[in-house]
Each structure stands twice: as C-alpha cells, then as structure tokens.
A and B are shown apart, each in its own frame.
Chain A
C-alpha cells in the first residue's frame, strides 16, 4: 500500500470483518504480539468502534498507526507498525 510516507509493505493482514468477540482490536493485538519489531500488521474491521478504539490503543501501547484506509462503505483497514519500547 501507499501512504503519505511512501510505499509500506504489510507483513500480515488480518481480516476481522464481522468480528465481535474478541473483536478487531484484540485481533490486532494478537497480530502485533507475534510481530517482530518494525513489522507491519493490518487489520480490516467493520466495527464502527474501531475508528476510535484502534488508534487510541496503538497510541497508548507505543506502536505506530501507519495508515487508516476506508476499503468500502463498511470496512476500514488499520495499518500498524510494531515498536518495541526500549526499557
């Protein structure tokens, strides 16, 4: 995909359309946990709550929200890069 910053390679995409429990954010967290530092995970969500939930979680957890793409009238793709915090 192409973003403002240039082309980004998505290492893994999780289709969480129609996922309610545990839901798209938890699917993103699952994907990020097994991602290496710097890898990019995308999750597709049809849950309206994701529009606020996902960016907020990404920010609080110290990861990077690379892009938010509307795919169609229902689904949005959230692209996140994993950043492992230095201690």
Chain B
C-alpha cells in the first residue's frame, strides 16, 4: 500500500521528522511510504548562529547547508517552485505548489516556521536593526563596527518572537563587545521589554536583573513598542514612554507564513491552532494533519528546541499509526535551551507543561555546552540522532 507523507518546510522540525520517520519505518515491507519535504529555498539555516554575526564572531554563510545533504537519500526533496507550497487543501488532502502541480498526500506536517513581519510596527523597517536574518545581522555587524558613541536601545518590538533568551543574550554580548573595543564609556545601553521584568521566567530574571544593573544597562520594563520614528530616532511605547536612540536593535515582529494564511489554516497572525499534546491541527483531527515548531500557536517558546521535541512526537505518532501500534506518544511541552549571561557563563533552561524551570546558577559549563551544541547541531539534530 502506498502512503504519501508530505512535510512542508525543511527547517529543524521538518528535517527531523522526515529522517526520524524514515528510520522508524525502515525495513517495514507492509507499506511503501514516500516521504517528501517541500522547501522553496532548499537550504537549512542554523538560526541561533545569527546572534554571533553582529559581533563578527560567526560567518553567516557557515550557518547554511543544503537541505538535500541533511535528508536521508530515501527521502524526496522538492525545492524551487516545485517546493514552494502555495496552498494546502486539507479537505482534498492536496497541496498546490508554485510550479502549478497538485500533490496528494495521506499525512501532512506543517513545519513552515515563522517570518519577520516588520510591517507590523510602524517605522520598524526604516528605523530598527536586528539579527533575525542573515542580511540584517550582517548590516548590524557593519553598524556596530563603526559605532563609537551614543545610545543603543535593545529589546523586542513585539510578541511572539523567536528564542526568548536571544535579545537578552545580545544585550550582554553587546555590553562586553563595547567594553572590549574601549567605547563602553561613551555608550549608553537601554533594554526595553513588554512585561514587568527583563525576562519572562522569574527565577532567571532574578539573577539577570542585577547583572544588567552591574553592567550599567538601563532596563525599561512595561515598554510595549508601539511605533518607531526613524526621522527623530525615537521609539515610543504603548505606555506613553519615548526613548531616543542612535542605534535601535529589536527582535522584529513575527507572523506565520503566507501559505498558512492563504490556506485558511491560521489565526489572524498566521499561527496554526494546534493540540498541545497530540500536535494535530485543531479542527482537522481526523485529517492526518500535524503542525510543529514556530508555525503553531502553542504556548511554548518559538525555538528549535520545541520543534525538535515536537518533531519526535509527530514522527513516532505517524509511524505508530502506519504500523498499527497504539500511540502513547504525546508532547508534554518540553523545551531545553541555554541562556548566555555574559562573561563566558550561561544557564540551562529546562521545562515542560508539568515542570516549571529551575535554572541552575550560571556556570562556564553551560556556556561550553551551548558552544558544543552550536558546533554539533548538524550531526545531532536534523538527522534526529538526539
């Protein structure tokens, strides 16, 4: 019996699911399972590496590899227009690609990720810098290299955004970089954040707040960015605060991909309503339709870590169904990641729906573990070895 599994998006989630599923079904002669990954660019980027590009610590080209090389040989990859999915029709179990083809599927996984939506905050495109793309991080590297004095404002422009730790980590790294260059005295660093503390997790916030204070970073809490005036160089908050800047570096607003919106599978911001345990798309429980990673509306961080743990569950679920085994696999909200606290130290964040995080005190060990993950990502995560 022929079974078509379509995976839209060759990022962390999509690649891992394809490889893991292929592995789980290996040698199973009962079905002929065809797994196809649809990815327009045909490349796979290790996005956490962009954090280091503005400090000239990472060549962004080394963060990109061909998706073909990350997928097992017995998995099909469609890229270019053939891989650009324009519409998904769950009622017909079909997807339509930009080359005019219609593809039927038996199982579909939405792993389309998120996109930067600068248009959501007036003045962002003209006035703000960020490191949430290769181009933007390179442009920022240029600006930072020539920055010698003035005020830098960092933080987030909107929620949700990829990787909650990143803007905070960036701020620590920025402070250290400016000091190393000998221009810290002439620079003011301001950090803006929408809630009442510098980081969502209270215990983490409790130990980073004094660190930010020690390093002279002025923290503006309850600062929900409303608009940016690129002429006057002022960023304004919903709460009525105005902050002038010389350089503005904010995580950009995010939205789900256009194909989700065009297929009527997303909410107003293009996020897919997803069951928090089964990862099936809500409203399509019997349609073999799953969603993972940034693309979902789940109350977990938009991170590779979440996509990784979710991906394993989806692969196991589909394999179990095809092999007529009972499925006990559920996603329990697990996420695990590192948060750099500067000075070569980091902490480790681990939590799931039932267990709140209990971050250990910052250690050099976690900084090294993070560095190890950054280095060995390609061997460990996309091939689903871990």
A25 interface neighbour in B158, B200, B301, B335, Cβ under 8 Å: B200
Interface segment, A2-10, A16-24, A64-72? A16-24
Asked whether B299 lies within 8 Å of A15 as measured between CB atoms, the reply is yes
CB distance from A29 to the nearest CB of B (A): 5
Asked whether B158 lies within 8 Å of A26 as measured between CB atoms, the reply is no
Asked if B239 is at the interface of the complex by the 8 Å CB criterion, the answer is yes
Interface segment, B4-12, B33-41, B88-96, B346-354? B346-354
Asked whether B160 lies within 8 Å of A26 as measured between CB atoms, the reply is yes
Asked whether A53 lies within 8 Å of B196 as measured between CB atoms, the reply is yes
Asked whether B333 lies within 8 Å of A62 as measured between CB atoms, the reply is no
Residues of the A chain whose Cβ atoms lie less than 8 Å from the Cβ of B160: 22, 26, 30
Asked whether B222 lies within 8 Å of A57 as measured between CB atoms, the reply is yes
Q: Which of A13-58 contact B (CB under 8 A)?
A: 14-27, 29-30, 33-34, 47, 49, 53, 56-57
Q: How many residues of B contact A (CB 8 A)?
A: 30
Asked whether A26 lies within 8 Å of B357 as measured between CB atoms, the reply is no
A23–B269 alpha-carbon span in the complex (Å) = 18
CB distance from A80 to the nearest CB of B (A): 14
Asked whether B200 lies within 8 Å of A26 as measured between CB atoms, the reply is yes
A30–B267 alpha-carbon span in the complex (Å) = 12
Residues of the A chain whose Cβ atoms lie less than 8 Å from the Cβ of B159: 22, 26, 29-30, 33
A34–B256 alpha-carbon span in the complex (Å) = 13
Asked whether A60 lies within 8 Å of B222 as measured between CB atoms, the reply is yes
Residues of the A chain whose Cβ atoms lie less than 8 Å from the Cβ of B164: 21-22
Asked if A85 is at the interface of the complex by the 8 Å CB criterion, the answer is yes
Asked whether B335 lies within 8 Å of A21 as measured between CB atoms, the reply is yes
A27 interface neighbour in B201, B224, B299, B357, Cβ under 8 Å: B299
CB distance from A81 to the nearest CB of B (A): 15
Asked whether B202 lies within 8 Å of A61 as measured between CB atoms, the reply is no
Residues of the B chain whose Cβ atoms lie less than 8 Å from the Cβ of A33: 158-159
Closest B residue to A35 using CB positions: B268
Indicate with 1 or 0, residue by residue over B73-84, a CB within 8 angstroms of chain A CB atoms.
000000000000
A67–B269 alpha-carbon span in the complex (Å) = 25
Asked if B238 is at the interface of the complex by the 8 Å CB criterion, the answer is yes
Asked if B194 is at the interface of the complex by the 8 Å CB criterion, the answer is yes
Closest B residue to A19 using CB positions: B299
Closest B residue to A27 using CB positions: B299
Asked if B356 is at the interface of the complex by the 8 Å CB criterion, the answer is yes
Asked whether A21 lies within 8 Å of B201 as measured between CB atoms, the reply is yes
A85–B357 alpha-carbon span in the complex (Å) = 36
A62–B335 alpha-carbon span in the complex (Å) = 33
Asked whether A23 lies within 8 Å of B200 as measured between CB atoms, the reply is yes
Asked whether A25 lies within 8 Å of B201 as measured between CB atoms, the reply is no
Q: Which of B256-284 contact A (CB under 8 A)?
A: 267-269, 276
Residues of the A chain whose Cβ atoms lie less than 8 Å from the Cβ of B224: 29, 61
CB distance from B281 to the nearest CB of A (A): 15
Q: Which of B170-222 contact A (CB under 8 A)?
A: 194-196, 200-202, 222
Chain A contacts to B: CB under 8 angstroms: 14-27, 29-30, 33-34, 47, 49, 53, 56-57, 60-62, 85
A-B contacts, 25 listed (Cβ < 8 Å):
A14-B299, A15-B276, A16-B299, A17-B353, A19-B300, A20-B201, A20-B357, A21-B164, A21-B201, A21-B349, A21-B351, A22-B301, A23-B200, A26-B195, A27-B299, A29-B194, A29-B224, A30-B160, A34-B269, A60-B222, A61-B222, A61-B224, A61-B239, A62-B239, A85-B238
Known: A18-B333, A57-B195. 9 other contacts (CB 8 A): A20-B356, A25-B195, A27-B299, A29-B194, A47-B356, A49-B202, A53-B196, A60-B222, A61-B238
